[in-house]
Structure 1
Amino acid sequence: MALDTAWRRGFLCRFLVVVAASAPDQRAWREEHDVLAAQLAPDLLLGLRLAPGLAEEGALSGDSLADVKLIGAVLEEMTRDGATDWWTAEALSDSPGWVRLRELAGRVLVREGETGTALRDLRVLPRENR
């Protein structure tokens, strides 16, 4: 059974809210919810995989799909160097890759009319339920 289009679109947009947030907001959110980078990676990959189907269904514009694909390419390039933790305070603040990711994710959110969710509004399951 296919997942509901609205749910999949919401999941993708929540992923984009995390990516688009400022470095201080990302750090504070991760600390508040006790989220490790390794726990975010599967959700990030799922969000990227949902985008083509959403575009096929008309729930995501072609321009936004192109930007989501660019997000995937930037993430892939960043993670090619396995020696760097891209969720450290330094990487979030100083990495040109994160600057590009924030720009692309923010652009998709605006284009898709999804600017009402702030990072602080996103919740995660307690660690014992993950």
Structure 2
Amino acid sequence: MALDTAWRRGFLCRFLVVVAASASDQRAWREEHAILAAELAPDLLLGLRLAPGLAEEGSLSSDSLADVQLIEEVLEEMTRGGATDWWTAQALSDSPGWARLRELAGRVLVREGETRTGLRDLRVLPRENR
């Protein structure tokens, strides 16, 4: 059974909101929910991999698909070999990769007419339910 298009688009956009947020908002959100980089990276990549199907269905523009694919490439480079230092406070603030990710994610959200819901509004499943 295929997942509903609106649900998949919403799932993708919620991940883009996380990526587009400022470093300070990301740090606060990560600490509030006790999220570990090793847990987040696979979920982010899974969310991004919904984009091609959404584009095929006409629910995501081709320009946004291209940007999402760039986001995926940058994230894969940052997390290569199981690296978790990409989610440290310093990396969030200083990493050229994060600057590029924020730019791309913000561009997709604007292009797709999605509002940047604050990270505080995004909830995560408790670890025992993941």
Same fold judged by TM-score > 0.5?
yes
Distance 2:82 2:128 in 1: 27
Ranges in structure 1 where 5+ consecutive residues have no aligned partner: none
Deviates more, 1:5-14 or 1:71-80: 71-80
Post-superposition offset of 1:71? 0.4
2:22 corresponds to: 22
1:85 corresponds to: 85
Distance 1:33 1:105 in 2: 21
> Identity of counterpart residues, as a percentage?
89
Judge conservation of contact 2:20–2:103 (CA < 8 Å) in 1.
yes
CA separation of 1:3/1:83 partners in 2, compared to 1, >3 Å: closer, same or farther?
closer
1:34 corresponds to: 34
Amino acid in the other structure paired with 1:7: W
Post-superposition offset of 1:117? 1.5
How do 1:1-130 residues align onto structure 2 when only pairs under 5 Å count?
1-80=1-80, 82=82, 85-130=85-130
Deviates more, 1:58-67 or 1:80-89: 80-89
SS in 1 for 2:85: coil
Distance 2:72 2:118 in 1: 22
Say how many residue pairs are matched: 130
Deviations 1:14-49 (A, max 9, x none): 000000001110010011111111111221111121
Distance 1:55 1:89 in 2: 34
CA separation of 1:27/1:13 partners in 2, compared to 1, >3 Å: closer, same or farther?
same
Ranges in structure 2 where 5+ consecutive residues have no aligned partner: none
Deviates more, 1:77-86 or 1:48-57: 77-86
Post-superposition offset of 1:82? 4.9
CA separation of 1:128/1:49 partners in 2, compared to 1, >3 Å: closer, same or farther?
same
Judge conservation of contact 1:9–1:54 (CA < 8 Å) in 2.
yes
Judge conservation of contact 1:52–1:65 (CA < 8 Å) in 2.
yes
Deviations 1:69-121 (A, max 9, x none): 11011112222365561000011100000000000000000100111422111
Judge conservation of contact 2:37–2:84 (CA < 8 Å) in 1.
no
SS in 1 for 2:3: coil
